[in-house]
Amino acid sequence: MKNALKLIVPCAALAFAGMAMAQQQGSGSWAPPQNVLQLSANGNVEVPQDMLSITLMARREGGDAAAVQSQLKQALDAALTEARKSAQPGQLDVRTGNFNLHPRYTRDGKTSGWEGSAELVLEGRDFARVSQVAGRLNGLNVNHISYGLSRETRAKSEAEAQMKAIEAFKQKAIELAKGFGFAGYTLREVSVNASHDGPMPRVMAMKAAPAGAASADAPVPVEPGKANVVVNVSGSVQLR
């Protein structure tokens, strides 16, 4: 997921000075700016992934569309009722996902039956709670597991990475200005972009255990990784 913030820093004195230098007498045209340097710098922060999302799916099939839909609804309602017992905002949030119902066709194009699926999504910061609830929802298969960052962790890590990127940008601008024989620089324009990445989401297909089986209540095994939060600062400076 990428977040982008466009920041334009006004430099009124520099702009007017540039106009005076660039304007050609009597022509009214403008020359390209002189001694302008383009550069960029990154700030990186590695943080543990603190959000877990598990998608469970019920699949049903049969010869009657209404019957298949009713079976899916019953399975989803039962799972929702059970999952809500352990729900807690931020720690375990429960929501429904996709609900699909479509016909099956024979080779000659005739309808041979109906099949459908319904999803239930468990997500939150309490990994133990999420995985335990997912393990005891009989009749649904674990279809997809993914990890991410909570809003608070993302905001904090982006702020830290942003400060690193800004300091790196400033240091690079100073070093380059001196390298080109200038005493310093003035900031003209800057763009700040943040992103984060981590291990690829894990896709799992686990068969639902029969009701009453010993393994039915076993937590779904989970193991989060780390996300790399990156903030890029790029722009231009006027060497002086």
- For the segment 74-132, what is each residue's pLDDT rounded down to a tens digit? 999 999 999 999 999 999 999 999 999 999 998 888 889 999 999 999 999 999 999 99
- For the segment 190-207, what is each residue's pLDDT rounded down to a tens digit? 999 998 776 544 444 344
Q: What is the per-residue pLDDT for 199? A: 54
Q: What is the per-residue pLDDT for 209? A: 41
Is 161 exposed, middle or buried (CB count within 10 Å of its CB: 0-12, 13-18, 19+)? buried
Q: Higher confidence at residue 32 or residue 198?
A: 32
Q: What is the per-residue pLDDT for 197? A: 75
Split at pLDDT 50, 70, 90, the class of 236 is very high
When computed from its CA atoms, the radius of gyration of the chain, rounded to whole angstroms, is 28
- Judge whether 79 and 136 are in contact, CB under 8 Å: no
Map out the domains of the chain with their CATH numbers: 2-48+152-196+230-239 (no CATH), 51-148 (3.30.70.2970)
CA angle (1 as vertex; 148, 200 as ends), nearest 5? 50
Written as one letter, the residue type at 208 is A
Through-space distance between the first and last CA atoms of the chain, rounded to whole angstroms: 38
